[in-house]
A and B are shown apart, each in its own frame.
Chain A
Amino acid sequence: MRRSRLSRCVQRGTLLVFVLLLALAGAQVYAQSTPQQSALQPAGPVARMQLDLFMLTVYIAIGIFTLVVGLLLIAIVRFRSRPGRPEPKQVTGNNTLEVVWTIVPVILVAIIAVPTVRGLFFVDTPPEGESITVNVTAHQWWWEFEYPDYGIVTANEMRIPTGKVVKLNLTSSDVIHSFWVPNLAGKMDTNPGRWNSMWLQADTPGVYYGQCAEFCGVAHANMRFRVIAETPEEFDAWVARWEEALVEPVVHAETPDLVARGAEAFMDRACFACHAIAGTDAKGVVGPNLTLFGTRTSLAAGMLDNTPENLAAWIRDPQAIKPGNQMPRLNVPEEDIQAIVAYLHSLR
């Protein structure tokens, strides 16, 4: 009696697990409607190939799981101990079965192996055709993007033209980081002292979110970035603006006095020691390059939207927003903060 109660317990437990899994699947569907960065919603050929390969493994896995757990459940129900059941035959094995369940996994593995190898060479070899090159340098805890063909150096937001191959060379100035934009491509580590390469391509315009994926110290969680894919025309316009900016900073000043005060404060408060702004005397290379800062959508390595309020809060106390980052709290007077904010936002 006790025995059968226990077996009922087991059955109920198993049932519960399955209900739970179903519930989880439901939760997943619900949550999946809004993820900001996701390998499940590819927007380019690399990520699409990776998802296709993944789904192949998922289908095979579901098949094997159903088979194994199905057999387990059948065995549990059919061969549960009952009163009056004869003692089981002491079977020690079966060679035919052993051969079968050796060969079946070999075949399944081979089915996965072929697209795996093909995919490895696919991600390793950028296709022929129009391309741009971006050199990515990871820093604790932000991203530097250099476009060697255009003389552009920017930070935390990588603009790319849609439909073109983007060849990336990646390195790091300090520890290992990993460059990852799930919607566009799997990750590639940035190793100090070495250049890695990868490629990606965005099919449609949009903002694709990315994040450092290799633990790199205290602000690892806040080392994010954005890839902004634009039509080739928009991208060319952006490059053209940069060419102007290299000669002198492009200033769209609604409040010229404030902006002028901000430009002064930027130098007085020694912001230039770490930050560069093309066309000015600010040539620091420790922190992110701030040229055309007003065109950026985000702050603090993708953490915050680039609003005047957020920027002011950041300058006021960077450590409160992003603990451990390398910009110290500089005790800039409030009026200078407002001026610097106006100045930086006029760079567009």
Chain B
Amino acid sequence: MATITSTTARTLLRPTAQKGLLSWLTTVDHKRIGIMYFWTALFFLFIGGVEALIIRLQLARPNQTLVHPETFNQLFTMHGTTMIFLAVMPLIAAFINYLLPLMIGARDVAFPRLNAFSYWIFLLGGIFLNIPWFFGQAPNAAWTGYVPLTLNQYSPGLNADYWLAGLQLVGLGTLISGFNFIVTIFNMRAPGMTLLRMPVFAWTTLIMSFLVIMAFPSITIALFFIMFDRMFGTHFFNIAAGADITLWQHLFWVFGHPEVYILILPAMGIISEVVPTFSRKPLFGYSVMVFSTVAIGFLGFSVWSHHMFTIGMGAVANTAFALTTMTIAIPTGIKMFNWIGTLWGGSIRFKTPMLYALGFLSMFVIGGLSGVMHSAAPANMQQHDTYFVIAHFHYVLIGGALFGLLAGMHYWFPKVTGRLMNERLGVASFIFSLIGFNMTFFPHHFLGLMGMPRRIYTYDAAMGWNTLNMLSTVGAFVLAFGFTLVLVNLLVSIKKGKEAGPDPWDARTLEWITETPPPVYNFAVTPLVSSRDEFWARKYQGAPALAAEEPGPIILPAPSYFPLLMSIALTVAAFGLVYSNLLLTIGLAATLLCIIGWAFEGVGEVTIYPKGFEQQ
């Protein structure tokens, strides 16, 4: 066992717990934070999933009255908000948190306390957004929150207030994570790991983080505009005072479209790790893959108005955004062919992670192609705001992002727990998910073309939409069953999974070099990297296992109370935004105190003597 000593500077006491609840509440260890992100994201994925199932039940047959229209509006608003901000993004954050430092040979992220803060503010923001369910006033103006529907005149209740304040909390955490990951990648790579030797997952994390720090300010400001209009009677969106309400849509989609790539790029990164491992070949066209990721990131900021082809921008502006949108197909297509190139000539093993990866490749191509259909703007005017669009983005977000994340989950589960997930359950979950997913969302293409708008709580029996809606609802339950099997597999395998050993997949990258599960300090000695697939090179190509430092004591950041305390203070301030200025003042004052405490708790650090190098 490693020995640990703490040398906290005594300005303000830093916690020292190594075990138990307090150690989790004060942890700054990226792996523990990653695990907390993971379970919290799964929890919200469950909530968002239940919301989706109620939506599908209500729409299974025409003229149903299972839920009140007002409740239905709250359900789809919270389904979208939850899945994007509270489920998929945090799930991505879980992977990045746990894996990024391991993949680049670091011992933690650059700002460990900020990292913990990102998590806590996300958790509390997620709970905050869901609180108004308990008194029937959950956000109800769709996840896009278009003005003037979200202004006082049309949304007098607390619904919009909770939505605005809650998104600010969650967004703050995301923004800070973005900065944190960028600084980590630029500064903390192990010696020898040049940028073009980084695993593609690290690359997609880097690009995603840039998208975050450039896109989130736009929605942050736009949310403040609505908030100020509601709270102080400002005129950002007051039509009588000359405002143009399409301003909100521009600000929202300048965030909203890059957000789509924020969700999909890390999944593409995961696929770029899983496919080579299970094909026993390096990623085909690594540098092309990297540059196409960069290209998607850049182009992602030039296409936002393709969500607005019907707002009346005119032919010239629509032309510009149609053409930029089409160009995105090019780097995306390049990626697809490079993944196939990776498979080609390989020796493919069909373990669960690979099944989900292949699911990603075949489903994402459908979502990508319907995306190209959307870029044909005149045709888009028929598809916009219909079930066709719902089909498109669920193919991208479930068939793409979520299947990618599930591939990653099955792939790295043994790294995190030291155990394998059950293969039989894994295959079953994949088959049910794939069939259920297609059954749910493929009919949506047709429903949209047959005139079914999105966000309607009911439809008439004579519309001709009955059969496909019923099929879709049945499919949703098959999909839910598939995902339940994943959850069962997780819970069973944590306790009873087969011992994985250090390298169950014969993997290629740095995170598999260290012990499984990794010790708190990740690497006993920082490795010296000499190859893109460092682990593979060491195993099969005779690369020497070099270290970049002498074995010795390792200094890690000490735990802290302040990330959690400051998140609580800001959440109090968020309640203040909804209810009272006094509470807002108290919350902000407490936040200020926390910042002071954060600054003055001194340079806490923990010195660890890893196994074999115990204190002399």
A131-139, A188-196, A328-336 - interface stretch: A188-196
Of B154, B315, B372, B459, which contacts A112 at CB under 8 A? B372
Judged by a CB distance under 8 angstroms, whether B346 is at the interface is yes
Judged by a CB distance under 8 angstroms, whether B377 is at the interface is yes
How near does chain B come to A252, taking the closest CB pair, in angstroms?
A: 29
Query: Quick check: A79 and B337 within 8 Å, CB to CB?
Result: no
Query: Quick check: A3 and B349 within 8 Å, CB to CB?
Result: yes
Residues of chain A within 8 A of B380, CB atoms compared: 186
Per the bound structure, the CA–CA distance linking A216 and B456 in Å amounts to: 10
Q: Known interface pairs A40-B450, A105-B333, A175-B149. Does A35 touch B464 (Cβ–Cβ under 8 Å)?
A: yes
Per the bound structure, the CA–CA distance linking A213 and B330 in Å amounts to: 31
Query: Quick check: A120 and B384 within 8 Å, CB to CB?
Result: no
Query: Quick check: B279 and A35 within 8 Å, CB to CB?
Result: no
Query: Quick check: B284 and A92 within 8 Å, CB to CB?
Result: yes
How near does chain B come to A228, taking the closest CB pair, in angstroms?
A: 17
Query: Quick check: A65 and B349 within 8 Å, CB to CB?
Result: no
Query: Quick check: A88 and B326 within 8 Å, CB to CB?
Result: no
B47-55, B66-74, B607-615 - interface stretch: B66-74
Q: Known interface pairs A6-B427, A72-B340, A112-B376. Does A176 touch B347 (Cβ–Cβ under 8 Å)?
A: no
How near does chain B come to A31, taking the closest CB pair, in angstroms?
A: 5
Query: Quick check: B315 and A27 within 8 Å, CB to CB?
Result: no
Query: Quick check: B340 and A75 within 8 Å, CB to CB?
Result: yes
Judged by a CB distance under 8 angstroms, whether B152 is at the interface is no
Judged by a CB distance under 8 angstroms, whether A152 is at the interface is no
Per the bound structure, the CA–CA distance linking A57 and B149 in Å amounts to: 34
Judged by a CB distance under 8 angstroms, whether A219 is at the interface is yes
Judged by a CB distance under 8 angstroms, whether A129 is at the interface is no
Q: Mark B372-390, 1 if CB is under 8 A from A, else 0.
A: 1101111111111110000
Judged by a CB distance under 8 angstroms, whether B327 is at the interface is yes
Query: Quick check: A64 and B369 within 8 Å, CB to CB?
Result: yes
Q: Known interface pairs A39-B451, A187-B384. Does A92 touch B286 (Cβ–Cβ under 8 Å)?
A: yes
Per the bound structure, the CA–CA distance linking A105 and B343 in Å amounts to: 21
Of A39, A61, A72, A117, which contacts B319 at CB under 8 A? A117
How near does chain B come to A124, taking the closest CB pair, in angstroms?
A: 4
Per the bound structure, the CA–CA distance linking A318 and B163 in Å amounts to: 31
Query: Quick check: A72 and B358 within 8 Å, CB to CB?
Result: yes
Per the bound structure, the CA–CA distance linking A75 and B344 in Å amounts to: 6
Interface residues on B, range: 35 or more
Query: Quick check: B348 and A75 within 8 Å, CB to CB?
Result: yes
Residues of chain A within 8 A of B376, CB atoms compared: 53-54, 56-57, 112, 115-116, 119
Query: Quick check: B288 and A93 within 8 Å, CB to CB?
Result: yes
Per the bound structure, the CA–CA distance linking A184 and B427 in Å amounts to: 47
Per the bound structure, the CA–CA distance linking A39 and B449 in Å amounts to: 5
Q: Is chain B's binding surface mostly helix, strand, loop or mixed? A: helix
How near does chain A come to B610, taking the closest CB pair, in angstroms?
A: 33
Residues of chain B within 8 A of A120, CB atoms compared: 315, 318-319, 322, 377-378
Query: Quick check: A196 and B312 within 8 Å, CB to CB?
Result: yes
Judged by a CB distance under 8 angstroms, whether A7 is at the interface is yes
Per the bound structure, the CA–CA distance linking A110 and B516 in Å amounts to: 50
Q: Known interface pairs A65-B369, A79-B279, A105-B329. Does A50 touch B378 (Cβ–Cβ under 8 Å)?
A: yes
Judged by a CB distance under 8 angstroms, whether B142 is at the interface is yes
Q: Known interface pairs A112-B372, A191-B311, A192-B239. Does A211 touch B453 (Cβ–Cβ under 8 Å)?
A: yes
Judged by a CB distance under 8 angstroms, whether A106 is at the interface is yes
Of B362, B373, B427, B450, which contacts A35 at CB under 8 A? B450
Residues of chain B within 8 A of A188, CB atoms compared: 310, 312, 381
Query: Quick check: B378 and A53 within 8 Å, CB to CB?
Result: yes
Query: Quick check: B467 and A187 within 8 Å, CB to CB?
Result: no
296-341 of chain B: CB within 8 A of chain A: 310-312, 314-315, 318-319, 322-323, 326-327, 329-330, 333-334, 336-338, 340-341
Per the bound structure, the CA–CA distance linking A69 and B429 in Å amounts to: 22
Query: Quick check: B345 and A89 within 8 Å, CB to CB?
Result: yes
Residues of chain A within 8 A of B284, CB atoms compared: 91-94
Per the bound structure, the CA–CA distance linking A312 and B39 in Å amounts to: 55
242-296 of chain B: CB within 8 A of chain A: 243-246, 279-288
Query: Quick check: A47 and B372 within 8 Å, CB to CB?
Result: no
Judged by a CB distance under 8 angstroms, whether A150 is at the interface is no
Question: Which residue of chain A lies nearest to B284 when distances are taken between CB atoms in the complex?
Answer: A93
Residues of chain A within 8 A of B378, CB atoms compared: 49-50, 53, 116, 119-120, 122-123, 186
How near does chain B come to A39, taking the closest CB pair, in angstroms?
A: 4
Q: Mark A70-111, 1 if CB is under 8 A from B, else 0.
A: 011001100111100101111111100110011011101100
Residues of chain A within 8 A of B323, CB atoms compared: 113, 116-117
Question: Which residue of chain A lies nearest to B381 when distances are taken between CB atoms in the complex?
Answer: A186
Query: Quick check: B312 and A16 within 8 Å, CB to CB?
Result: no
Question: Which residue of chain B lies nearest to A16 when distances are taken between CB atoms in the complex?
Answer: B435
Query: Quick check: B386 and A213 within 8 Å, CB to CB?
Result: yes
A-B interface pairs (CB < 8 A), number: 345
Judged by a CB distance under 8 angstroms, whether A163 is at the interface is no
Of A27, A101, A174, which contacts B148 at CB under 8 A? A174
Residues of chain B within 8 A of A58, CB atoms compared: 373
Query: Quick check: B239 and A193 within 8 Å, CB to CB?
Result: yes
Residues of chain A within 8 A of B471, CB atoms compared: 24, 27
Judged by a CB distance under 8 angstroms, whether B494 is at the interface is no
Judged by a CB distance under 8 angstroms, whether B21 is at the interface is no
Question: Which residue of chain A lies nearest to B144 when distances are taken between CB atoms in the complex?
Answer: A215
Residues of chain A within 8 A of B281, CB atoms compared: 88-91
Judged by a CB distance under 8 angstroms, whether B425 is at the interface is no
Judged by a CB distance under 8 angstroms, whether B538 is at the interface is no
Query: Quick check: B467 and A27 within 8 Å, CB to CB?
Result: yes
Query: Quick check: B462 and A113 within 8 Å, CB to CB?
Result: no
Per the bound structure, the CA–CA distance linking A122 and B338 in Å amounts to: 38
Per the bound structure, the CA–CA distance linking A53 and B350 in Å amounts to: 40
Pick from B323, B435, B456 the residue with the most CB of A within 10 Å: B456
Query: Quick check: B382 and A117 within 8 Å, CB to CB?
Result: no
Of A54, A68, A122, which contacts B336 at CB under 8 A? A68
Of B310, B333, B442, B468, which contacts A31 at CB under 8 A? B468
Judged by a CB distance under 8 angstroms, whether A255 is at the interface is no
Question: Which residue of chain A lies nearest to B361 when distances are taken between CB atoms in the complex?
Answer: A72
Residues of chain A within 8 A of B590, CB atoms compared: none
Given A34-B462, A35-B463, 7 new contacts (CB under 8 A): A24-B443, A39-B451, A79-B344, A92-B284, A93-B286, A112-B376, A182-B382
- 22 A-B contact pairs sorted by A residue (CB < 8 Å): A13-B435, A39-B450, A50-B378, A57-B376, A61-B370, A61-B373, A80-B348, A81-B349, A94-B341, A97-B341, A101-B333, A101-B334, A116-B378, A117-B323, A120-B319, A124-B315, A125-B315, A187-B310, A192-B148, A193-B243, A213-B384, A220-B455
Which B residues fall within an 8 A CB radius of A?
68-70, 73, 141-142, 146, 148-149, 154, 239, 243-246, 279-288, 310-312, 314-315, 318-319, 322-323, 326-327, 329-330, 333-334, 336-338, 340-341, 343-351, 355, 358, 361-362, 365-366, 369-370, 372-373, 375-386, 423, 427, 430-431, 434-435, 438-439, 442-443, 446, 449-451, 453-460, 462-468, 471, 540
Which A residues fall within an 8 A CB radius of B?
3, 6-7, 9-10, 13-14, 16-17, 20-21, 24, 27-28, 30-40, 47, 49-51, 53-54, 56-58, 60-61, 64-65, 68-69, 71-72, 75-76, 79-82, 85, 87-94, 97-98, 101-102, 104-106, 108-109, 112-113, 115-117, 119-125, 140, 174-176, 178, 180, 182, 185-189, 191-194, 196-197, 209, 211-222, 303, 323-324
Nearest first, the 5 A-B pairs at minimum CB distance are A186-B381, A119-B378, A221-B456, A196-B312, A37-B451
